Amino acid sequence: MADDREPPPLFENVDISKNFDDGSEDIFSSAIDDIGGLTISNNGLSEVNGQPEGSPQPEQDDMGGFLDRSAPTPAPRNVVSNDSKESMERDGGDQFLEIIVSEPSKRGEGMGAFVAYKVITRTNMKLFKRQQFSVYRRFSDFLGLHDKLVEKYLRSGRIIPPAPEKSMIGTTKIKMSNQNDQQSLTGDFVEKRRAALERYMKRTAAHPVLCVDPDFREFLECEDELPRANSTSALSGAGVLRLFNKVGETVNKITFKMDENDPWFEEKTTQMENLDNQLRKLHGSVESLVIHRKDLAVLTSSFAKSAAMLSNCEEHTALSRALSQLAETEEKVETLHNEQANTDFSILCELLKDYIALIGAVKDVFHERVKVYQNWQHAQLMLNKKREQKAKLELSGKPDRGNTAGVEVVEWQAKVERGQEEFDAISQMIKKEMERFEINRVKDFKQTVITYLENLMLHQQQLVKHWEAFLPEAKAIA
């Protein structure tokens, strides 16, 4: 006789009993419609013709005070009504949301110190209480926001923009620096992190669902300090558990091969793997280019110093003057090489790094679909076992136990149907999200290449001007 015990589900975080009859996934009919309601500018973002998935959720009101560690006073919550939703749909084309991350400042002393960033928001969206406001947030607050969005929307097939990576070395340097040492806050590490956080916020705000999420709006509006996101620490219990979960999922990705019946997903999976590999190679090449440009700047500086020393020793007046001018020109060229190296990094390197992380988020969504499929197949397997048990009990003349087995068959049949509905729903949502991803990817790379070429041409024009200015001095040597 078959074993009566039910095997544990493959993934406990995927609920195959979820009811998908509420139609909440039909709020946005396509990813193209999502983008149609956005007004995107170079500085920022966009507004949306809709609301977060599911039923409307309460909105956290503003709290008075800045970085107040005392318990905040509960404020009334506002629920987005249907009238507000209809108004958003009518006015969506004229609405905007711009976010700037600036003014990093160190708070605290020693190992308890941290850097707070000023998050400035400008918008005319009616969901927000004011049109312009600002708050201060620490790095762990950004990571906590990302974790909340992943927990809410990943299972439904949404692509969540990844948050910047943590850096133990850079963070430790900031903690151990002097409170009055402003150089640590204006260095490369803090500036790169600030720019990465700003890009993360803009990508999140550009998403038509994430930008109206209550947690996202609370992050932008609440003037009080947010609850500490301890789970983002690598040494916390939640961090260790998250590490074990990642190891388990990595093993599952290697050992389980889904029998894919949809050629679209098979093609996209291959495309994302190839795109990931090529972007990583290009990112490595650009990093090497940045290093070589900086080395060229160092060598140019050394040449300028040598030319200046030679001009001091030269007795011929015209030649000495020409060598002195050559040294000054080489110093200007050194500055251009350093500027070009910084441009290569800030424009090309950072974009490639962001999209490598975004492709990782796409892979996470694809794997979530595989997990839903596994749970659906698990439910199908259990249904077949229950049917076998019911048939054997009926043949053995045990009607009472047969009736119980019949109830279990009905329950597992419902789970199979819900599992299939969830699988179909996440598959459809991923296709919509991939439409948005491809449109934004092409637009971002086009804008980046144009900006990079414009900067490159500007530096080359300045380089030509410097040498043209030196040429008459060289010809004047008699």
pLDDT digits (tens, 9 = 90+) for 25-40: 443 344 334 434 444 3
Q: Dump strand ranges (E) for 20-156.
A: 58-59, 78-79, 97-107, 114-123, 132-138
Residue 350 scores a pLDDT above 60: yes
In this structure, what token pair is assigned to residue 191? 């500036």
CB 166 within 8 A of CB 143: yes
Please name which of 437, 285, 433, 289 lies closest in space to residue 355, comparing C-alpha atoms: 437
Q: Tell me what pLDDT residue 392 has.
A: 86
DSSP character for 346? I
Q: Tell me what pLDDT residue 283 has.
A: 95
Q: Using CA atoms of 338, 344, 347, 351 in order, give the dihedral in degrees to the nearest 10.
A: -140
Q: Which of 1-10, 174-183, 419-428 has the highest mean pLDDT?
A: 419-428
Q: Tell me what pLDDT residue 146 has.
A: 95
CB 216 within 8 A of CB 127: no
Residue 57 scores a pLDDT above 50: no
- Which residues lie closer than 8 Å to 107 by C-beta, 6 or more apart? 67, 113, 114, 115, 116, 138
State whether the Cα torsion 398-401-406-412 is positive or negative: negative
Q: Determine which of 99-103, 249-253, 360-364 has the lowest per-residue pLDDT on average.
A: 249-253
Quick one: average pLDDT of 334-349? Answer: 93
Q: How confident is the model at residue 290 (pLDDT cuts 50, 70, 90)?
A: very high
Q: How confident is the model at residue 106 (pLDDT cuts 50, 70, 90)?
A: confident
Q: Tell me what pLDDT residue 175 has.
A: 64
> How far is Cα 137 from Cα 139, in angstroms, rounded to an integer?
7
Report the share of the chain in percent with pLDDT over 70.
71
> How far is Cα 197 from Cα 350, in angstroms, rounded to an integer?
12
Residue 182 scores a pLDDT above 60: no
Q: How confident is the model at residue 44 (pLDDT cuts 50, 70, 90)?
A: very low
Average pLDDT, the chain: 79
Q: How confident is the model at residue 452 (pLDDT cuts 50, 70, 90)?
A: very high
Quick one: average pLDDT of 348-372? Answer: 94
State whether the Cα torsion 421-151-363-54 is positive or negative: positive
Q: Determine which of 45-59, 165-179, 395-409, 425-439 has the lowest per-residue pLDDT on average.
A: 45-59
Please name which of 24, 15, 47 lies closest in space to residue 34, comparing C-alpha atoms: 47
Q: How confident is the model at residue 241 (pLDDT cuts 50, 70, 90)?
A: low
Residue 79 scores a pLDDT above 50: no
Fill in the amino acid letter for 164. Answer: P
> How far is Cα 279 from Cα 31, in angstroms, rounded to an integer?
25
Quick one: average pLDDT of 156-170? Answer: 87
Q: Tell me what pLDDT residue 165 has.
A: 86
Q: How confident is the model at residue 230 (pLDDT cuts 50, 70, 90)?
A: low
Quick one: average pLDDT of 85-112? Answer: 70
Quick one: average pLDDT of 410-427? Answer: 94
Q: Tell me what pLDDT residue 251 has.
A: 63
Q: Tell me what pLDDT residue 389 has.
A: 87
Q: Using CA atoms of 10, 14, 19, 25 in order, give the dihedral in degrees to the nearest 10.
A: -140
Q: Tell me what pLDDT residue 162 has.
A: 94
Q: Tell me what pLDDT residue 108 has.
A: 77
Please name which of 61, 62, 109, 55 lies closest in space to residue 82, comparing C-alpha atoms: 55
From residue 145, alpha-carbon distances to 115, 150, 163 in Å are 17, 9, 9
Number of Cβ atoms within 10 Å of the Cβ of 147: 18
Report the share of the chain in percent with pLDDT over 90.
53
Q: Tell me what pLDDT residue 48 has.
A: 41
> How far is Cα 305 from Cα 328, in angstroms, rounded to an integer?
9
CB 328 within 8 A of CB 298: no
Residue 153 scores a pLDDT above 50: yes
Q: Tell me what pLDDT residue 396 has.
A: 83
Q: Tell me what pLDDT residue 113 has.
A: 80
> How far is Cα 228 from Cα 108, in angstroms, rounded to an integer?
15
- Which residues lie closer than 8 Å to 300 by C-beta, 6 or more apart? 330, 333, 334, 337
Residue 402 scores a pLDDT above 90: no
pTM for this prediction: 0.73
Q: Tell me what pLDDT residue 186 has.
A: 58
Q: How confident is the model at residue 314 (pLDDT cuts 50, 70, 90)?
A: confident
Q: Determine which of 156-160, 229-233, 263-267, 407-411 has the lowest per-residue pLDDT on average.
A: 229-233
Q: Tens of pLDDT along 123-136?
A: 988 889 889 999 99
Q: How confident is the model at residue 335 (pLDDT cuts 50, 70, 90)?
A: very high
Q: Tell me what pLDDT residue 296 has.
A: 96
In the block, which residue shows the tokens 């916390």? 236
